[in-house]
């Protein structure tokens, strides 16, 4: 008689090769084999293997369209998180402590039915939309439209530009990051050598004998 571990390995192999009977693979079995696969591979590899297996089974059953990317990845993420949060001796103990995962509607805690029912969520993994209670302070308890978000970011950029112009002027920079030529007084250090600028460099007029003429104040 095969051990439980050997039996699980056979089941995982059957899942990955598409030899499982789709009719005999209900949601609780999805969760169980997802749990077992996450115990053998990293999350990324488990997602790749499990999603590929489900696509294979869906195609085998003649209904490739039933595969749902968001539900698959989201459930694996939940299972993986629960595994990491607490130690469990085996699947039976995990199932007893996480019975909510056996209910397909479990994801409704994070996802709206409209989002999960969309073609986009079926074709590619989508993050859950904001929880209504967490954004109740927003207008009408709705997530801001893209145009409103763009206005927010534009406002932030404008404020940043104001600060940059103000502080940049003090630092000798213009808004484009170029160094600005400032007038130097007699005691100002030469930025190239650290010594005061020569009068000739400051453009003071010379007399015929080469001496400097004092400018009238």
What's the first-to-final CA gap in the chain, in angstroms?
A: 110
Nearest CA-CA partner of 77 in 125, 147, 122: 125
Residue 42: pLDDT above 60?
Answer: yes
pTM for the full predicted model? 0.59
- Spatial distance between the Cα atoms of 32 and 98, rounded to a whole number of angstroms: 11
Q: What is the pLDDT of residues 45-66, one digit of tens each?
A: 999 999 999 999 999 989 999 9
Alpha helix positions (H), 18-112: 27-38, 43-60, 69-85, 91-97
pLDDT in tens, 174-206: 544 444 444 444 544 554 455 544 444 445 455
Question: For residue 175, which phi and psi values (nearest 5 degrees)?
Answer: -60, -15
> For residue 159, what pLDDT is reported?
56
pLDDT tens-digit profile of 88-121? 999 999 999 999 999 999 999 999 999 999 999 9
Mean pLDDT of the chain: 75
Q: Domain limits of the chain?
A: 4-130, 143-170
């Amino acid at each position: 008689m095969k051990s439980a571990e050997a039996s699980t390995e056979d089941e995982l192999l059957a899942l990955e090769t598409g030899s499982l009977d789709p009719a005999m693979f209900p949601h609780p079995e999805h969760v169980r084999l997802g749990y077992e696969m996450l115990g053998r591979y990293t999350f990324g590899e488990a997602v790749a293997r499990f999603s590929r297996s489900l696509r294979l089974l869906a195609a085998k059953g003649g209904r490739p369209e039933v595969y749902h990317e968001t539900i698959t990845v989201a459930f694996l993420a939940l299972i993986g998180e629960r595994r990491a949060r607490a130690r469990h001796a085996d699947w039976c103990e995990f199932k007893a402590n996480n019975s909510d995962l056996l209910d397909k509607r479990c994801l409704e805690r994070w996802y709206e039915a409209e989002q999960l029912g969309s073609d986009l969520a079926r074709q590619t993994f989508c993050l859950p939309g904001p929880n209504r209670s967490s954004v109740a302070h927003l207008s009408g308890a709705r997530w801001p439209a893209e145009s409103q978000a763009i206005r927010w970011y534009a406002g932030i950029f404008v404020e940043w530009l104001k600060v940059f112009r103000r502080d940049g002027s003090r630092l000798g920079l213009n808004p484009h990051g170029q160094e600005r030529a400032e007038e130097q007084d007699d005691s100002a250090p030469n930025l190239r050598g650290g010594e005061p600028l020569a009068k000739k460099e400051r453009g003071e007029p010379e007399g015929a004998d080469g001496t400097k003429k004092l400018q009238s104040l």
